[in-house]
Chains A and B, each alone.
Chain A
Amino acid sequence: DTAVSQTPKYLVTQMGNDKSIKCEQNLGHDTMYWYKQDSKKFLKIMFSYNNKELIINETVPNRFSPKSPDKAHLNLHINSLELGDSAVYFCASSPVLGRRLRVDYGYTFGSGTRLTVV
């Protein structure tokens, strides 16, 4: 199936631990993103990579480090987890817009990773 897939779907961990969330897209998109949705349901962008290059880096603690080994993958590593990191993290991808792209279907989001820090 063509999609954006992220693993794990649920992640429960203790404060202070280091964890990673993986994301893969097989849509051939050039750009990938990480969004965070907090308990109040606000969705906010964290990072964006275009062809393995970081292009958007919002005000996110240094404990969060994205890594893009190739344009189909964007992983999120979080060091020294804190209670406030508990949220749902969504990966997404989008095609590069331009004259060669006739149709824009916007973003495709993954199904989310629910991170709970205890």
Chain B
Amino acid sequence: DAKTTQPPSMDCAEGRAANLPCNHSTISGNEYVYWYRQIHSQGPQYIIHGLKNNETNEMASLIITEDRKSSTLILPHATLRDTAVYYCIVRPSNSNSGYALNFGKGTSLLVTP
């Protein structure tokens, strides 16, 4: 699986957009980019995923560069409840019987009042 690189920590003011970058320069053509987050003392939570097109859902937007070597997770209006560790993960799309998520160190996002 391709490895990802994320900044260890970021701050964001409440109400502002939080832009979390991720580098995955060794990503291969059949690998998706997934984002999860883990709020303190809770289980990780799925946020969004994409292959090559930009994606948006009720939680966030995912912008993937054209060469797919990096992506950015955007929380459009960060709230204090978005304070969490955010993980960028790549995995193959052909895992029909289950797949391991390789969590790295993630980015610890602190949303401040």
> Is A72 close to B, CB under 8 A?
no
Cβ 8 A contact of B103, one of A43, A108, A112: A43
Taking chain B's interface residues, is the majority helix, strand, or loop, or is none over half, making it mixed? loop
- Whether the Cβ atoms of B85 and A45 lie closer than 8 Å is no
- Whether the Cβ atoms of A44 and B103 lie closer than 8 Å is yes
- Whether the Cβ atoms of A42 and B103 lie closer than 8 Å is yes
- Whether the Cβ atoms of A92 and B43 lie closer than 8 Å is yes
With A and B bound together, what is the CA distance between A106 and B53 in angstroms?
Answer: 17
- Report the interface size class on chain B: 20 to 34
- Whether the Cβ atoms of A98 and B103 lie closer than 8 Å is no
- Whether the Cβ atoms of B101 and A45 lie closer than 8 Å is yes
- Report the interface size class on chain A: 20 to 34
Hey, which chain A residues are within 8 Å of B103, CB to CB?
Answer: 42-44
Hey, which chain B residues are within 8 Å of A94, CB to CB?
Answer: 98-99
| Residues 86-118 of A contacting B (Cβ, < 8 Å) | 90, 92, 94, 96-98, 104-112
Q: Render A31-58 as a binary contact track against B, CB cut-off 8 A, 1 for contact.
A: 1010000000111110011100001101
- Whether the Cβ atoms of B98 and A48 lie closer than 8 Å is yes
With A and B bound together, what is the CA distance between A33 and B100 in angstroms?
Answer: 8
- Whether the Cβ atoms of B100 and A48 lie closer than 8 Å is yes
With A and B bound together, what is the CA distance between A94 and B41 in angstroms?
Answer: 21
A sample of 5 cross-chain residue pairs with beta-carbon separation below 8 angstroms, ordered by A number, consists of A33-B98, A90-B44, A96-B96, A106-B36, A106-B46
Residue numbers of A with Cβ under 8 A of B are 4, 30-31, 33, 41-45, 48-50, 55-56, 58, 90, 92, 94, 96-98, 104-112
